Structure 1
Amino acid sequence: MANTYTQVHIQVVFAVKNRSSLIHATWEDALFRYITGIIQNHGHRVLQVNGMPDHVHILFGMKPDQALSDLIKQVKQDSSKWINQQGYVKGRFSWQAGYGAFSYSKSQIPRVVRYIQNQKEHHKKKTFREEYLEFLKAFEIDFNEGYIFNEV
């Protein structure tokens, strides 16, 4: 797209189906690299990926030539298929439906990167549900409690 200039930074958060803690420390780095590859193959720039056994955070610079929903659908489909092919979990792995997406200005990026890097420490004090509700409220996003990721 000639003469199109953008700076769009998005943090996406999504959970393992049923909030099961299936992402194991022995293979989470491989998963994060795989997710990074999917996003980069679509022409976007990954800034940080990290998570917990039950959810993932991804911060990336998004190009304007793809719908966010299409990209995240592809990330979730491809990474689920990869996890299942690797045999990392007993049974069938899948991500929970839906995701949260939050935009940031360039000046906020270092803070968000640190936040994502420190997920393990952060979640010693706060559950995923608490974290997710804080995001929705801070970004003033209308939501229905019935569709929020429920604790298992």
Structure 2
Amino acid sequence: MPFLKVYIHFVWTTKKFKPLLIGKSLREKVRIHILENSKEKGIFIKYLAVQKEHCHCLISLEKDQTISSIMQMIKGESSFWINKEKLVPKKFAWQREYYGISISESHLPRVKAYILNQDIHHRENSFLEEYEDLIIKHGFERIEE
């Protein structure tokens, strides 16, 4: 049996960054659904925050999981569910792209606090400011859809 500790901090957004997940109760409903569905599929989400136009989560990869398959399962199933349940007035979709960065175990407390304090963080910084900071900080090229 392999012993793995591979943590990835993911961020993904609604299509065109539209703030469609309005209200804490809706965001909590989506958060609970993503957690439950992921657990059923063997995806271990350690922390998850759902905001009006984006999500942050920390996932521990298992030996047979790939980053793209995990994101496809989470994003594809959750957008299908949001539309099926008619939780938003328009057709819901996640942006195709996502952000993912590996996290060392020593940084887990800081990443946990960052993810779980998104409501507080976004009182001071908009998501677009956060997005730009993440892209620049980690040397990614920004992709427009």
2:81 corresponds to 1:110: no
Give, in whole Å, the separation in 1 of the partners of 2:19 and 2:135.
Answer: 22
Give the letter aligned to residue 42 of structure 1.
K
Counterparts of 1:2-151 in structure 2, within 5 Å, are 2=1, 4-24=2-22, 25-139=24-138, 141-143=139-141, 145=142, 147-148=143-144
Give the letter aligned to residue 14 of structure 1.
W
Q: Deviations over 1:101-124 (max 9, x none)?
A: 011111111111111111111112
What is the count of residue pairs matched by the alignment?
144
Note if contact 1:15-1:56 (Cα within 8 Å) is conserved in structure 2.
yes
Give, in whole Å, the separation in 2 of the partners of 1:120 and 1:93.
Answer: 22
CA root-mean-square deviation: 1.6
Tell me the secondary structure at the aligned position of residue 48 of structure 2: strand
Note if contact 2:34-2:78 (Cα within 8 Å) is conserved in structure 1.
yes
Unmatched tracts of structure 2, length 5 or more: none
Measured after TM superposition, the shift of residue 91 of structure 1 is: 2.4
Give the letter aligned to residue 108 of structure 2.
I
Give the letter aligned to residue 77 of structure 1.
G
Unmatched tracts of structure 1, length 5 or more: none
Tell me the secondary structure at the aligned position of residue 124 of structure 2: coil
Give the letter aligned to residue 6 of structure 1.
L
The TM-score normalised by the length of structure 2 is 0.90
Measured after TM superposition, the shift of residue 57 of structure 1 is: 0.5
| Segments ≥4 residues shifted beyond 6 Å | none
Give, in whole Å, the separation in 2 of the partners of 1:21 and 1:128.
Answer: 10
Give, in whole Å, the separation in 2 of the partners of 1:148 and 1:40.
Answer: 32
Tell me the secondary structure at the aligned position of residue 79 of structure 2: helix
Note if contact 1:51-1:120 (Cα within 8 Å) is conserved in structure 2.
no
Measured after TM superposition, the shift of residue 148 of structure 1 is: 4.7
Give, in whole Å, the separation in 2 of the partners of 1:28 and 1:51.
Answer: 6
Q: Deviations over 1:3-50 (max 9, x none)?
A: x11101111101111211111222211211111123223323211111
Give the letter aligned to residue 44 of structure 1.
I
Note if contact 2:6-2:61 (Cα within 8 Å) is conserved in structure 1.
yes
Tell me the secondary structure at the aligned position of residue 98 of structure 1: strand
* Structure with greater strand percent: 2
Give the letter aligned to residue 86 of structure 1.
E
Give, in whole Å, the separation in 2 of the partners of 1:31 and 1:111.
Answer: 24
Give, in whole Å, the separation in 1 of the partners of 2:4 and 2:144.
Answer: 31
The TM-score normalised by the length of structure 1 is 0.86
The percent of aligned pairs where both chains have the same amino acid is 28
